[in-house]
Structure 1
Amino acid sequence: MIEEGKPLFVQIAEQIEDSIVDGSLADHTQAPSTNELAAFYRINPATAAKGVAMLVDKGVLHKRRGIGMFVAEGARELLLQERRGAFAERYVAPLLAEARKIGLGPEDLAALVREHGATTDRDHTERSRA
C-alpha cells in the first residue's frame, strides 16, 4: 500500500476515499479512527490524523463529538465528481488533442472506444471461461 514519493497522509486519505467510492464505506458509516489507521499502517497517529483532516476539510468525513469520524452524506457522489473531472483532465483532454492531430473527430474517437471496449469485454469473457 505504501508508495514511495507520495506523503503517507495523502495515501491514507486516498485509501479511505477508495473505500467510499467502492461502497465499502457508505454514507453515515463510521470511518476508521486515527489510532486504528496508525496501528494498521504502522505509522504515527498524527500522520493518520492529517489524512483524516484532509477528508474533513473536503467535506467527505465529519466528526461526531465523542463518537468518531463518519462518512458525510453525499460523499461518494462528491468523490465521483472529483474523480471524473480529474479523469477528463488527465486522460480525455490529451486523448482529444492527439485525435485532432491525426485527423480524428469526436465521433471517430467514440467509435474507436466502443470498438476497443467490445474487444476488451469479449477477451475478458473468454479468459473467465478458461
Structure 2
Amino acid sequence: MEVKDDRPIYIQVAEIIENQILNDSLLPNERAPSTNEFSNILEINPATARKGITILVEEGILYKKRGMGMYVTDDAKKIIIEKRKKEFYRETLPEILKEAKRLEISEEDLIDYIRGGRND
C-alpha cells in the first residue's frame, strides 16, 4: 500500500479499502484496517486515515463494531461497483470518447476493439 498521486490522501485511503473489497481481500463482516494501521503503513496522520474510513461508513460500505473496529457491510461490494460505474460513465468514458474523436477512431472501431476483434 502506498499513497501515490495528487488526490487527497484520505480519498486514497478509502479507495485502498474499496479495492480490497472489490478483489475479495476483504469480505463482508471482516474487519477493515484501522486508522492506526493505515497511519503506520502509509506514514500518515491517523486523522487523515479516519477521514477516509468515515467516508466509507457514510456510504454504507463499512460499519463500526464498538470497541472492535470497522467491518465490511454485506452490500459493500455492490455499493462500490455502482458508485464506480457512475464515476466511469460520468468522468472516464467522456474523456475516452473525446480522445477517440481526436484520433479519428470510429465508433465501429471502438466497438470492435471492445469486443476483442482488434488488438491495435
Using the alignment, how far apart are the partners of 1:8 and 1:98 within structure 2? 29
Higher normalized helix content (fraction of residues): 1
Using the alignment, how far apart are the partners of 1:31 and 1:67 within structure 2? 10
Q: Which residue of 2 aligns with 1:30?
A: 31
User: Shift in Å at residue 91 of structure 1?
Assistant: 3.4
TM-score (norm 2): 0.80
Q: Which residue of 2 aligns with 1:15?
A: 16
Q: Which residue of 1 aligns with 2:41?
A: 40
Matches within 5 A, 1:1-130: 1-93=2-94, 109-114=110-115, 117-120=116-119
What amino acid sits opposite 1:15 in the alignment? I
RMSD: 2.6
User: Shift in Å at residue 90 of structure 1?
Assistant: 2.3
User: Shift in Å at residue 110 of structure 1?
Assistant: 2.6
Tell me the secondary structure at the aligned position of residue 62 of structure 1. strand
Larger radius of gyration: 1
Tell me the secondary structure at the aligned position of residue 70 of structure 1. strand
8 Å CA contact retained: 1:96, 1:106: no
8 Å CA contact retained: 1:60, 1:72: yes
Aligned-residue identity in percent = 38
Q: Which residue of 2 aligns with 1:127?
A: none
Q: Which residue of 2 aligns with 1:128?
A: none
Unpaired runs of 5+ in structure 2? none
What amino acid sits opposite 1:40 in the alignment? I
8 Å CA contact retained: 2:28, 2:73: yes
User: Shift in Å at residue 92 of structure 1?
Assistant: 3.2
8 Å CA contact retained: 1:19, 1:25: yes
Q: Which moved more, 1:71-80 or 1:104-113?
A: 104-113
Q: Deviations over 1:32-80 (max 9, x none)?
A: 1111111111111111111111111111100011111000111001101
Using the alignment, how far apart are the partners of 2:41 and 2:109 within structure 1? 48
Unpaired runs of 5+ in structure 1? 121-130
Q: Report the CA distance shift for 1:109/1:50 in structure 2 as closer, same or farther (over 3 A).
A: same
User: Shift in Å at residue 108 of structure 1?
Assistant: 6.6
